[in-house]
């Protein structure tokens, strides 16, 4: 009886462990741009950034995924001042640590984007 119980617990732990591993791997694989910070992000803090700063995507191809690995919330928003007319526009909600945002680009072009909370955090997506 005790051995049966131990065997069941071991099987459950293995299943949970494998599931957690698979979920973690998928999250990592899906993130194209990592949002990083030093958990402070005082004004013009250069350690708060998008990595890589420039990323290449395809029109109507795979969605671009951003993931916030930082300690404070961030956003991903297109820069209407720098971007040409006719390009996609979007602004994410506030993304907490571990959260993701994605966008599938529908128009070719150079997309400047930034964090609307920390406006000096800037990135580019080149869509071809
Ligand atoms: Cu930010």
Each domain of the chain, given as residue ranges in start order, spans 31-127
- pLDDT value at 28 more than 60: no
At residue 80, the pLDDT reads 96
Entry pTM: 0.78
Q: What is the C-alpha separation between 104 and 56, in angstroms, rounded?
A: 12
Residue 36 phi/psi, 5-degree rounding, is -120, 150
Confidence of residue 30 (pLDDT cuts 50, 70, 90): confident
| Mean pLDDT computed over 58-71 | 97
Give the domain 31-127 fold. Answer: Immunoglobulin-like (2.60.40)
Strand partners, 126: 56, 110
Q: What is the C-alpha separation between 13 and 2, in angstroms, rounded?
A: 17
- 117 C-alpha vs ligand 1 centroid, how far in Å? 5
- 118 C-alpha vs ligand 1 centroid, how far in Å? 4
pLDDT over 70, % of the chain: 83
Collapsing DSSP to helix, strand or coil, 34 comes out as: strand
């Amino acid at each position: 009886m005790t051995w049966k119980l131990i065997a069941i617990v071991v099987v459950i732990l293995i299943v949970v462990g494998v599931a957690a591993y698979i979920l973690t791997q998928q999250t990592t694989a899906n993130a194209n741009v990592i949002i990083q910070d030093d958990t402070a992000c005082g004004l013009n803090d250069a350690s708060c950034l998008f990595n890589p700063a420039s990323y290449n995507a395809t029109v109507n191809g795979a969605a671009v995924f951003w993931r916030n690995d930082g300690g404070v919330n961030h956003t991903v928003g297109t820069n209407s001042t720098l971007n040409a007319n006719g390009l996609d526009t979007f602004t994410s909600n506030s993304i907490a640590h571990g959260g993701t945002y994605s966008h599938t680009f529908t128009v070719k072009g150079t997309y400047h984007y930034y964090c609307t909370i920390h406006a000096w955090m800037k990135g580019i997506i080149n869509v071809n």
